[in-house]
Amino acid sequence: MKKILGIFFIYIVFVLQVAAQQERQKLYHPEADAQSEIQAAVEKAKKERKHVFIQIGGNWCVWCLRFNELVTGNDTLKNYIQRNYEVVHVNYSQENKNEAVLASLEYPQRFGFPVFVILNEKGNRIHTQNSAYLEEGKGHSAKKVLEFLENWSPTALDPKSYKQ
């Protein structure tokens, strides 16, 4: 009986790990209308005085998934992003390269994946970030990512922040 319970327990753990892996791999959606999602994020950002953070990549990209794990698993980064940005994940894969969207963002894919684009509350591109500069070891540096996010936040670009 103990042997059967042990096997059942191992099976449940395996099923849960597979389910978590499949959920994590669904960060990017090839079927999504990226342009509509970006427009909705811009509208929301305008109302909430935020910027739009676009993460471009694919479920095939281990660095894309690692970056997402960092920013969703690190409370400092997660909270900072929630306060300052509307986030959109734009798919780039064989199923959908989102070529028109990437052209409108001035071809950020030239930097590899993931690549990040910051839009202001009007929907204008204000920065494209090569994620390689944020890497550390087999992932991304929380310190470098936070510095990047702070440097392109609405507050950082607000002239009132610099008046004495």
97-149: pLDDT as tens digits: 999 999 999 999 999 999 999 999 999 999 999 999 999 999 999 999 999 99
> Could you tell me which residue, 35 or 162, shows the higher pLDDT?
35
pLDDT of residue 163: 86
- Which residues share a beta bridge with 128? 117
Sign of the C-alpha dihedral computed for residues 79, 72, 91 and 65 taken in this order: positive
Strands of 65-107 (E only): list them: 85-91
Helix (H) / strand (E) element for 50: namely: none
pLDDT of residue 68: 97
CA-based nearest residue to 33, from 127, 106, 96, 113: 96
* CA–CA gap between residue 135 and residue 152 (Å, rounded): 18
pTM of the model: 0.84
Judged by average pLDDT, the poorest of 13-22, 84-93, 115-124 is 13-22
DSSP code for 56: E
Cβ atoms 41, 99 nearer than 8 A: no
38-69: pLDDT as tens digits: 999 999 999 999 999 999 999 999 999 999 99
Residue bearing tokens 């510095």: 147
